[in-house]
Amino acid sequence: MIYLNGKFMPIEEACVPVLDRGFIFGDGVYEVIPAYSRKLFRLESHLHRLQHSLDSIRLTNPYNNSQWHDLLEKIVVGNDNEDQYIYLHVTRGVAKRDHAFPPNSTPTVFIMSNPLLAPSQDLLTNGCSAITAIDNRWIRCDIKSISLLPNVLLRQMAIDANASETILIRDGFLTEGSASSIFIVRDNVLLAPPKSHLMLPGITYDVVLELATANHIPYRIREIHEEELQSADEIMLTSSTREIMAVTRLNDNPVGTGRPGKLCQRLQQLYHHYKTTTMRGDTPLS
């Protein structure tokens, strides 16, 4: 069951006019929210980031938080799986094609759910491969825009190289993955690039740093040079759907020992415990 512009329906029945500005211009923003045991994880943080994205593209939020909450809950209840990820998307609506904002269009709102599968045993045991590439996206990567063509092309580069993710480098420094945040470990210290307009403020990124704080894992938030990435002891990628994953090969070279590192495994355990405990991640840890 999906939600489109005020109605719940099977996805096969959902249609959007061809003049929707999401279709014509990619003029819209989105969110991806995990639900564990049918409980939305970090909902407030996701709605806060949605508001930031909408403000940044000067689109009025069509709903308040309690309306979003009701709609998202209905989608979670109306779909089969206990663990799901909810995709929501707001565009500037349908209007005659013109780049400038239409004077009075109604935003299009679409919400769907997909099963959220736990990372496979193979991925947990062996980690995944990544490649690096120049970050050739625009300079408002903090907006969760549906215009994802650069991310699509960058991710496909990884797939073509038999890897899972492309890690992006801008002016010699790590930004993030094509669809994930990236952390590295050097000398037992977790390093994270600082949030800026050059990366999406990941919700999982926040959870990882909160878990590090709560469990006395030393970390630093600072610029990470490409060479530090290439010679890191550990690399991990994080996202709402992939959680925390060890990157064990970078550009066909082993990362550290070539096996998932100690810190990554520890964070995976902590994350697993956190998402499955009674808190369900509702409240930030710190």
Binding residues vs ligand PMP (CB under 6 A) = 32, 176, 179-181, 200, 202-205, 238-240
Which residue number, 105 or 166, has a Cβ lying nearer to ligand PMP? 166
* Residue 278 CA from chain centroid, whole number: 23
Residue 35 β-bridge partners: 40, 84
Q: In what order do the strands lie in the sheet with 84-91?
A: 7-9, 2-4, 108-115, 84-91, 28-36, 39-40
Give the H/E segment covering residue 77: helix 65-77
Is position 275 annotated as part of the catalytic site? no
8 Å CB contact between 185 and 238: no
**Shortest separation between residue 238's beta carbon and ligand PMP, angstroms:** 6
Which residue number, 132 or 238, has a Cβ lying nearer to ligand PMP? 238
**Shortest separation between residue 201's beta carbon and ligand PMP, angstroms:** 8
**Shortest separation between residue 208's beta carbon and ligand PMP, angstroms:** 9
- Phi then psi for 96, rounded to 5 degrees? -55, 140
8 Å CB contact between 113 and 79: yes
Which residue number, 93 or 193, has a Cβ lying nearer to ligand PMP? 193
Which residue number, 94 or 116, has a Cβ lying nearer to ligand PMP? 116
Whole-angstrom distance, CA of residue 52 vs CA of residue 90: 13
Nearest-CA neighbor of 143 among 223, 198, 185, 180? Answer: 198
The vertex-208 CA angle with 112 and 36, nearest 5°, equals: 35
Q: Does residue 109 sit in helix, strand or coil?
A: strand
**Shortest separation between residue 12's beta carbon and ligand PMP, angstroms:** 26
| Active-site residue (options: 39, 96, 144, 262) | 144
**Shortest separation between residue 98's beta carbon and ligand PMP, angstroms:** 29
**Alpha carbon of 269 to those of 20, 100, 132, 153, 236: distances in Å?**
43, 48, 27, 32, 14
Which residue number, 110 or 205, has a Cβ lying nearer to ligand PMP? 205
Catalytic residues: 144
